[in-house]
Amino acid sequence: MLDSKSVVDLCISKGFALAGVTTASHSSHDAVLRKWLKDEKHGEMEWLNRNVDVRLDPRNLVEGAASVICVADRYGKLEEEPLCARDGRIARYARGRDYHKEMKKRLHSISDTLREEFPGEQFRACVDTAPLLEREFAQRAGIGSVGKHTLLIEQGIGSWMLLGAIVTTAVI
């Protein structure tokens, strides 16, 4: 059976820059999130106000969840030139292929490998698509820390990275 180091290595072999594993447990920022929503800081993003109990605890997303595998993909390579003024400029994170699809494909492939190692366990890949506090779990998994600008930042990489996760019932 794979241990967390082997799972991290598997994620890196799929092209992710960083990976880590943490326990699926309740958010440490329950009160922060609830106040943020009560103060209507989410503006028109009404969907953030739905499934709050799920967002605060991955065990409400995947019943019996034990672990969260967190990954980060880099974006915004410095050699990318800005487009000419006539075409407008596209935010770095949005250039190239749709990261939701691209990262999810690799997360599904990792899940397929892990299903063989952990028969009978469930694996749910998430890239923005599920109510999960991706930054908080990524910090817990040790792949960076949440900066004052609210993004996950890692020394040497900065914060130009996109996050994804696999919530699983497997104990890793």
Under the rule (CB under 6 A), what is the footprint of ligand B12? Answer: 27, 29, 32-33, 36, 45, 48, 91, 93, 127-128, 132-136, 139, 146, 149-152, 159, 161-163
Residue closer to ligand B12 (CB basis): 118 or 153 = 153
CA-based R_g, the chain, Å = 17
73 is a catalytic site residue: no
Tokens of 168: 């699983």
Displacement of CA 6 from its chain's centroid (Å): 19
Q: Which of 9, 53, 98, 128 is catalytic?
A: 128
Q: What share of the chain is helix, strand, coil (3-state, %, to 5)?
A: 35, 20, 45
Given the complex with ligand B12, which of 29 and 115 has the nearer CB atom? 29
What lies within 8 Å, CB to CB, of 83 at 6+ separation is 89, 90
Q: Measured between alpha carbons, how far is 139 from 124 in angstroms, rounded to an integer?
A: 19
Nearest approach, Cβ of residue 161 and ligand B12 (Å): 5
Of the pair 21, 131, the CB lying nearest ligand B12 is at 131
The distance of closest approach from Cβ of residue 9 to ligand B12 in the complex, given in angstroms and rounded to an integer, is 22
> Distance (Å, rounded) from C-alpha 36 to C-alpha 48?
10
Closer CB to ligand B12, 100 or 115, in the complex: 100
In the complex, what is the shortest distance from the CB of residue 172 to ligand B12, in angstroms, rounded to a whole number?
21
Q: Closest residue to ligand B12, Cβ-based? A: 29
Q: How many CB atoms lie within 10 A of CB 23?
A: 14
- Shortest distance in whole angstroms from residue 116 CB to ligand B12: 27
Residues marked active site are found at 128
